Amino acid sequence: MDVTPRPKDALIISAGGFGRSVYNIMQSDIANGVDWAVTGFLDNRGDLAASTPLPVLGDPLTWQASPHEEFLCALGEPAQRRRFAAPLLAQGATFMSLCTGLHKAIGVEMGAGCLFEPEVRMGVDTRLGDFVFVQSTSVIGYEVQIGDYTTIGSFVFVGGGARIGSDVIIHPHATILPRVTVGDGAIIGAGAVVMADVPPGVTMIGNPAKIFRFK
């Protein structure tokens, strides 16, 4: 008699373009069909149902989680990830991390719900919090610390020993030099070169990066 456990049902939060891209990545993951199988999307935008490869099963804000389900939050904005993950976390739901094509050195530790697009490289002894999202081809150096819900765009370089806070957004092609600290909630503009510590909540642009003040 076959006693192989059935793969868990994986549900993707967001049926938008990013969610569908994540579904595409998941199809090539070695865990697909073994540890989990994607069964659908959770989204509260009813107009997306016709464009998804799998059904939109419900609203993530009201979904009742099952022990046989795992969730992946495919939302780029830190605040959106917090909002839509919170009701499920309150139920004790399990959030999986997707590491397809991640080049991970020894000693790397990460929390729940992290998402890495292919060809991300991560140095030794780096520590990541929960719900960190890193887009393709970015490089994270050794002994870097990254807080919860931070988003890192494509082609970003984070130097060794850097400290990146929670809810940070680093846009594509930015460079964070080694041992620099980026405070919680900061935004690093596309192509910015960050050479000195960044206070919490500010927006940095340019090379060298300077605080951008909205008028």
Based on the fold, state whether residues 49 and 28 are members of the same structural domain: yes
Of 68, 95, 122, the residue that ends a domain is: 95
**pLDDT reading at 13 higher than 60:** yes
Based on the fold, state whether residues 157 and 193 are members of the same structural domain: yes
Question: Which structural domain, as residue segments, surrounds residue 83?
Answer: 8-95
Of 45, 71, 95, the residue that ends a domain is: 95
Local confidence band at 211 (pLDDT 50, 70, 90 cut-offs): very high
Both tokens of 189, joined, read 């503009």
**pLDDT reading at 198 higher than 70:** yes
Local confidence band at 213 (pLDDT 50, 70, 90 cut-offs): confident
Based on the fold, state whether residues 101 and 202 are members of the same structural domain: yes
Q: Can you give the pLDDT at residue 95?
A: 97
Is the residue at 211 inside a domain? no
Is the residue at 213 inside a domain? no
Both tokens of 3, joined, read 């006693």
| Tens digit of each residue's pLDDT (9 = 90 or more) over 42-87 | 999 878 777 888 999 999 999 999 999 999 999 999 999 999 999 9
Q: Can you give the pLDDT at residue 3?
A: 58
Q: Can you give the pLDDT at residue 82?
A: 97
Over its C-alpha atoms, the chain yields an Rg (Å, rounded) of 18
Q: Can you give the pLDDT at residue 33?
A: 87
Is the residue at 166 inside a domain? yes
pTM: predicted TM-score of the whole model, two decimal places: 0.93
Q: Tell me which residue of 61, 81, 73, 72 sits closest to 167, measured CA to CA.
A: 81
- Average pLDDT of the residues in 12-29: 94
Based on the fold, state whether residues 69 and 120 are members of the same structural domain: no
Is the residue at 143 inside a domain? yes
Distance, CA of 164 to CA of 182 (rounded, Å): 5
CATH of the domain at 29: 3.40.50.20
**pLDDT reading at 187 higher than 60:** yes
Based on the fold, state whether residues 63 and 143 are members of the same structural domain: no
Based on the fold, state whether residues 144 and 182 are members of the same structural domain: yes
Is the residue at 37 inside a domain? yes
DSSP assignment of 66-116, as one string? -TTEEEEE--SSHHHHHHHHHHHHHTT-EE--B-TT-EE-TT-B--TT-EE
Local confidence band at 159 (pLDDT 50, 70, 90 cut-offs): very high
State the chain's mean pLDDT as an integer.
Answer: 94
Based on the fold, state whether residues 115 and 171 are members of the same structural domain: yes
Q: Please give the tally of structural domains in the chain.
A: 2
| Tens digit of each residue's pLDDT (9 = 90 or more) over 106-158 | 999 999 999 999 999 999 999 999 999 999 999 999 999 999 999 999 999 99
Q: Can you give the pLDDT at residue 5?
A: 76
Based on the fold, state whether residues 132 and 156 are members of the same structural domain: yes
**pLDDT reading at 2 higher than 70:** no
Q: Can you give the pLDDT at residue 53?
A: 87
Q: Is 40 annotated as a binding residue?
A: no
- Average pLDDT of the residues in 5-19: 93
CATH of the domain at 141: 2.160.10.10
**Is the distance from CB of 192 to CB of 205 less than 8 angstroms?**
yes
Based on the fold, state whether residues 45 and 121 are members of the same structural domain: no
Q: To 10 degrees, the CA torsion angle through 60, 61, 66, 67?
A: 90
Task: Provide, rounded to the nearest whole percent, the portion of the chain with pLDDT above 90.
Answer: 88
Of 70, 95, 120, the residue that ends a domain is: 95
In sequence order, what are the beta bridge partners of 171?
A: none
Dihedral sign for Cα 59, 63, 69, 74, please: positive
**Is the distance from CB of 184 to CB of 170 less than 8 angstroms?**
no
Is the residue at 169 inside a domain? yes
Based on the fold, state whether residues 115 and 16 are members of the same structural domain: no
Is the residue at 181 inside a domain? yes
Based on the fold, state whether residues 192 and 105 are members of the same structural domain: yes
Based on the fold, state whether residues 44 and 59 are members of the same structural domain: yes
Does residue 196 sit in helix, strand or coil? coil
**pLDDT reading at 1 higher than 60:** no
Both tokens of 47, joined, read 């107009």
Taking CA atoms, 85 is separated from 10, 26, 49, 61, 163, in Å, by: 14, 19, 21, 8, 24
Is the residue at 35 inside a domain? yes
